[in-house]
Amino acid sequence: MQTYALDQYVADLRHIVSEETDDGAITKRIKPLAEKFTADRSWFKDLYREVDEEQGFGLHLLFEEDNHDLAVFVIAWAPGKGLAAHNHKTWAVVSGIEGQEHETNYARQDDGSKPGFADLTMTAEETLFPGKAVCCMPEDIHSVWNNGEEVAVSLHTYGRHLNHTGRSVFDVASKTESPCVVKVKD
């Protein structure tokens, strides 16, 4: 059986975004490819389980276009750690590799016109396990938390590198919004 390698996954991503302009259509076509890529673990390295102790997670960059479009990461989440409510400002497809990630989705109640303020309400929760993929649209807001006992690892494919989108992180309790920038390992 032939493996589905990173170079083929990237070629397929480039092909899809050259044919589609709608974020929903893009993620619908990428989702089964992300599941296929994560099902074949021949590309996976032990270092992808490493987390940044300060952040509580580790971002491992597998691929990024020179203009920062089409970024592919492996993200490792330490047990009991995660990222508060945040958006991406780009489409995303996330596929579980190891462990479990609990996702809480939110809806914004305000119109976003007051800088630094955001009123969010929880809308849904689900846990991502290996072999399952989920899609996010640019304005979707969610938090991610490793609610398991081991490091959780997942593949994240984005329309644009996260540190180049102007995305936000939210404090739901204090109703605040601030810029979200994360450390990435190459």
User: What is the domain partition of the chain in residue ranges?
Assistant: 6-185
Query: Between these two residues, 185 and 117, which has the higher pLDDT value?
Result: 117
Give mean pLDDT, residues 141-160.
96
Provide the CA 93 distance to its chain's centre, in angstroms: 7
pLDDT of residue 181: 81
| pLDDT above 70 for 78 | yes
| pLDDT above 90 for 175 | yes
pLDDT of residue 34: 97
- Quickly state the pLDDT bin for 186 (edges 50, 70, 90): low
- Quickly state the pLDDT bin for 35 (edges 50, 70, 90): very high
Are 5 and 72 in contact by the 8 Å Cβ rule? The answer is no
Superfamily of domain 6-185: Jelly Rolls (2.60.120.10)
Residue with tokens 């309790």: 173
Sequence-distant (≥ 6) Cβ neighbours of residue 152 within 8 angstroms: 76, 77, 79, 96, 98, 99, 100, 101, 146
Provide the CA 28 distance to its chain's centre, in angstroms: 15
Degrees to nearest 5, angle at CA 179 with 155 and 74: 10
pLDDT of residue 183: 80
Task: Tokens for 35, please give them.
Answer: 């599941």
What is the pTM for the complete model shown? 0.93
Mean residue pLDDT of the chain comes to: 95
| pLDDT above 60 for 5 | yes
pLDDT of residue 69: 94
| Spatial CA neighbour of 57 closest among 79, 80, 74, 76 | 76
Sequence-distant (≥ 6) Cβ neighbours of residue 86 within 8 angstroms: 141, 142, 143, 167, 168, 169, 170, 180
CA distance 164 to 24: 21
pLDDT of residue 179: 93
